[in-house]
Structure 1
Amino acid sequence: MVTVFVQRTKELHELKSYNDAGFLFAPFGSMEKKVIFPFDKCDSFSASIGATDLLEINETEKDKSRFINMEELSDLKEKHISLVQKGVDFIKAKQAKKIVLSRKETLEYANLNVLETFKKMLKIYKNAFVYLWFHPEIGLWMGATPEKLLTSFEGDFKTMALAGTQKHTGTTNVNWQIKEKQEQQYVTEFILENLKETVEKLKITEPFTVQAGNLVHIRTDISGKLKSGNSLEKLINILHPTPAICGLPKNVAATFILENEGYDRLYYSGYLGELNRNESTSLFVNLRCMQLDGKLVSIYVGGGITAESIPKNEWEETVSKADVMKKVLP
């Protein structure tokens, strides 16, 4: 099912309260605007794509785009390995337990068909939340994220602890390494510890493996009920940014990221989705995403760093994640 919200004007609406109702697009940090397309100012419709030709890809050899990397991969590799090593040293000095470090890879396309790219993304990533978002003052973003920040309905909520990455080899029977298990356990423990004063009747599953495109991750599902007097806004502020996109301790990791990554994440690793639609909220972490600006396509990828991280392996993980997005480009 594809749902479309088309705002009737070009006005930029900023989120004023988490009691607002609309499609929310929020950044990683606090510098950018939380943008909302209010439902009462949008036209909307939905279409089932399961048994139709909506996803037929109109792609011929002469129409295929050609891209140029704006920066040599060898330079990107050197920068990221250096960044990861700095993160590992910081963690080993007992300054943090985990830091999620990312990078941006920008490509120049001569002839990119946005709609065909989106259709291809829908066709390939059936287990992800796939989106295409545009506002003239912010720009155009699209992505296929496997990670739900939360769903909430009448006080009941669900979230997940998603971390650890390997290439999908045709099976979800994966031999996870200690580093990957530890990384995911940090996320789970953070969520449980920080939710205990806000929610009750917490339920947690055993960790299990899930596929997202050509990758697999470790996931734990968590659910519960908001205690009386606790708001959706408080729950979101507790969860975002999670250790899966920031690190632990949260403030220490966020400061390291801002001081060392060397670029602005903008809306990458923020969150997006339907806020208070028919009394239900469903928000997703903005991973596996790209920003389109004219002929430029910027792909954002990252990975969790712990004391056991090997910088070269962390670089390879970002390459695999970038390939997830490049796969949908012509």
Structure 2
Amino acid sequence: MHQFQQLQKILVQQLQSFSLDHGLFPTKNLTVTIDSLPLLPLLKGQTTAQPKNCCLLPTIYWQNKEQTTTLASFGAIETLEHIPKADNNALYLGGLAFQQQGEQWSDFPATLFIRPLLVFQHIQSSSLFNQTDNTSEQWQAVFHFNGTNSVEKSIHIIQALQPPQALSAFTQQQIKRHDSPNQTQWASLVELAIEYKALLPKVVLSRETELTFDGLLNTWDIMALWQQANPNSFHYVFQLSQEHSFISCSPERLYSRRQQQLTTEALAGTVNRGRDKREDNLLLQSLLNDKKIDRENYLVQEFIIANLKQLKAEVSFSPAHVLQLQHVQHLCVPITAQLTQQTKDSDLLYKLHPTPAVGGTPKLPALQFINDNEPYNRGWYAGAVGCISEQESDFSVAIRSALVSKNNIKLFAGAGIVTGSIAEQEWQELDNKIQTILTILGAR
């Protein structure tokens, strides 16, 4: 408590000094080097804040797949419903829904990007967020200014922050589960998708699993447990109101851009993890040698490469490898591209999202089939979520994700349906994909 109060005092003093040099409405950011700060406990500490502290919203947690950048942000100086073009030291956090058409979730529009007011960040030397010459890790508090928000507002948000609160084990008991579609409806959907094989070589069907518990859920505790179970993934939480939080522990990158150098991947094809090392290796080899899985992954590769070439990028790819998670393993083909100077993040997002790994191919007929036949609204599930700055952008495909509200959580999972798919096996794949979070929640 005392240490956090000292930090607040230092940051207020820094802001007051900054305003003497740059005025009450600065046009440049203030970056303050700080001691290490537990970011998830800090975010949890705000869950007990009074409604008067709504200036802290939106609150966002973001950690990239390599864990070189971890951010906790509070408030907003810009809220955009379009894809921004960042300049100078602007940073935007946000995402796109799975489909831009149709009604989206409450709080989560089709496109939303936020330039935060305050960001606490932990950055490694390999991250372009590190704007110093220091090669070691950095802890920083960054106050964003654009000439319209005051130093006084930044001081207010610092004073409104509550101290970090210890993370807790999950103790609530599940009282209800509802799957949409249910298993019978799923079998009918798979059969219908296969009937369309001439028009749809692949369509990704998905399921929403809604769990209700006997007590309130804490998003930050869940995120910490999920992060611990699957460390080699993107981890993020978007809490845009006191009603809902979108949370994800996604293994899949849509793309990462550094200057004009882009990296992406075709991540499609799934098998279980084995019960022991020998079985695990046999399953891994089956993933590499299965013709159905190879075809499924190739459709994703083909889509990504073709769309990057439409942007006049020079594209290359590497041999397939297997990405192993706690309960499943995926076939992954790394892809790199050299972009032209004219290519913008909006071009990349509109071209690459959604990929056949979450939608299907051809893209438009697959999206129409999903829109016509899935019995729930995907919203930001299978969307593109990430961050944009002038030098760097990084986007995750929002799979392994959930929507949390009060004592309720909705989990999402999908499976690629191609010729040869068997409904019962694909249903089991959906359960395998949410098994990690089901285990964390003690759910059935």
Shift of 1:179: 1.5
Residue 69 of structure 1 pairs with residue 135 of structure 2: no
Which of the residues 21, 28, 36 maps onto 2:98?
A: 28
* Match of residue 307 from structure 2: 194
Change in 2 beyond 3 A, CA 1:221/1:36? same
Deviation at 1:138, TM superposition (A): 7.5
Aligned equivalents of 1:261 and 1:165: distance in 2?
A: 21
**Is the 2:84–2:92 Cα contact (8 Å) retained in structure 1?**
no
User: In 1, are the aligned partners of 2:208 and 2:412 still within 8 Å (CA)?
Assistant: yes
Within-5 A mapping of 1:49-128: 58-59=168-169, 64-71=171-178, 76-91=182-197, 94-111=198-215, 112-128=217-233
**2:45 aligned partner:** none
The residue that corresponds to 1:258 in the other structure is: 371
* Partner amino acid, structure 1, of 2:185: K
Find the residue that maps to 1:284 and give its secondary structure: strand
Could you say which structure has the higher helix fraction? 2
**Cα shift readout 1:195-226 (whole Å, capped 9, x = no counterpart):** 21314332200111111231100000111111
Distance 2:73 2:114 in 1: 8
- Mapped to 1, the partners of 2:184 and 2:225 lie a distance apart of 32
Who is 1:290 aligned against? 402
Give the secondary structure class of the aligned counterpart of 1:196: helix
Structure 1 residue 238, shift from structure 2 partner: 1.0
Is 1:5–1:43's contact at 8 Å kept on the other side of the alignment?
yes
- What residue number does 1:131 align with? 236
Q: 1:180 aligns with which of 266, 287, 293?
A: 293
Question: How far 1:274 sits from its partner (Å)?
Answer: 1.3
Aligned AA for 1:307? T
1:319 aligned counterpart, secondary structure = helix
| 1:152-207 Cα shifts (integer Å, max 9, x gaps) | 11111111000001111144533122211111111011111222131433220011
Rounded to whole Å, the distance in 2 between the matches of 1:35 and 1:197 is 26
Taking a change above 3 Å as real, the CA distance of residues 299 and 266 of structure 1, as seen in their structure-2 partners, is: same
Deviation for aligned residue 1:241: 0.5
Structure 1 CA distance for aligned equivalents of residues 73 and 341 of structure 2: 35
Question: Aligned letter for 1:159?
Answer: T
Moved over 4 A (4+): none
CA distance in 2, matches of 1:117, 1:328: 8
1:14 is the counterpart of 2:80: yes
Distance 1:226 1:154 in 2: 9
Structure 1 residues 115 and 156: CA distance shift in structure 2, 3 A: same
User: Which amino acid is 2:231 matched to?
Assistant: K
Asked whether the equivalents of residues 203 and 418 of structure 2 are also in contact (C-alpha less than 8 Å), the reply is yes
Aligned-pair CA distance for 1:131: 1.4
TM-score, normalisation: structure 1: 0.88
Give deviations 1:293-326, integer Å, cap 9, x for gaps: 1211100111101011111111111111121321
The alpha-carbon deviation at position 69 of structure 1 amounts to 2.9
1:4 aligned to 68, 71, 93, which one? 71
**Higher mean C-alpha deviation, range 235-244 or range 190-199:** 190-199
How far apart, CA to CA, are the structure 1 residues paired with 2:83 and 2:203? Answer: 30
1:43 equivalent in alignment to 2:119: yes
- Bigger proportion of residues as strand: 1
**Separation in 2 of the partners of 1:72 and 1:206?**
37
SS of 1:130's equivalent in the other structure is strand
Which amino acid counterpart does residue 42 of structure 1 have in structure 2?
Answer: L
Tell me the distance in 2 between the aligned counterparts of 1:259 and 1:180.
Answer: 26
**Which has the higher relative contact order, 1 or 2, with Cα contacts under 8 A spaced 6 or more apart?**
1
Structure 2 length-normalised TM: 0.66
CA distance in 2, matches of 1:210, 1:199: 29
User: Letter of the aligned partner of 1:102 in structure 2?
Assistant: S
Name the structure 2 match of 1:51: none
Is the contact between residue 179 and residue 207 of structure 2 (CA under 8 Å) also seen in structure 1? no
In 2 relative to 1, CA 240–131 (structure 1 residues): closer, same or farther, beyond 3 Å? same
Contact 1:174 1:209 in 2 (8 A): no
Q: CA–CA distance in 1 between the matches of 2:379 and 2:262?
A: 27
Tell me the amino acid that sits aligned with residue 37 of structure 1.
I
Q: Could you list the runs of 5+ residues in structure 2 that have no partner in the other structure?
A: 1-66, 125-163
Root-mean-square deviation over aligned CA pairs = 2.4
Question: How many angstroms does 1:72 deviate by?
Answer: 6.8
Aligned to 1:302: 414
The answer to whether residue 334 in structure 2 is matched with residue 221 in structure 1 is yes
Is the 8 Å Cα contact of residues 99 and 253 (structure 1) preserved in structure 2? yes
1:86-123 CA distances to partner (integer Å, 9 max, x unpaired)?
111111xx111100000101000123333221111111
CA change 1:42–1:15 in 2 (3 A) is farther
- Distance in 1 (alpha carbons) for counterparts of 2:255 and 2:243: 24
